[in-house]
């Protein structure tokens, strides 16, 4: 499964909380199957693009960091896949 994960740091973290979050990241790292990881230029979060069949690993990742970060994980399709599926649905509806 391809996915996009957007995260936003919780507001008003103390320096100690930020340090603990970074230490956790240094120990456990990124979500499973990460292919791209971008930090937003405003410093408030980032976007991860990945591919994995380890949904439990995504859940584990989200739970590991949820005291510091709000995450949204969305299954995703590449545009050609999405257009192909949408076209098939339109054809089915026309029948």
* Category of 43 on φ-ψ map: left (φ > 0), alpha (ψ -120 to 50) or beta: left
pTM of the model: 0.84
pLDDT of 94 above 90: no
pLDDT in tens, 38-70: 999 999 999 999 999 999 999 999 999 999 999
Distances (CA, A) of 78 to 11, 20, 23, 58, 85: 33, 36, 34, 20, 11
Distance CA 58, CA 73 (A): 8
Given this model, what pLDDT does residue 23 score? 97
Q: Which of 9, 14, 15, 11 is nearest to 65 (CA)?
A: 9
Residue 93 has pLDDT above 90, yes or no: no
């Amino acid at each position: 499964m391809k996915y996009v994960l957007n995260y936003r740091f919780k507001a008003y973290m103390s320096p100690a909380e930020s340090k603990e979050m970074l230490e956790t990241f240094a120990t456990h790292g990124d979500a499973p199957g990460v292919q791209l990881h971008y930090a937003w230029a405003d410093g408030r979060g980032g976007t991860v693009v990945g591919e994995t069949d380890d949904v439990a690993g995504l859940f584990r990742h989200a739970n590991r960091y949820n005291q510091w970060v709000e995450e949204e994980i969305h299954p995703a399709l590449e545009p050609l896949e999405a257009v192909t599926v949408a076209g098939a649905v339109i054809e089915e509806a026309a029948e």
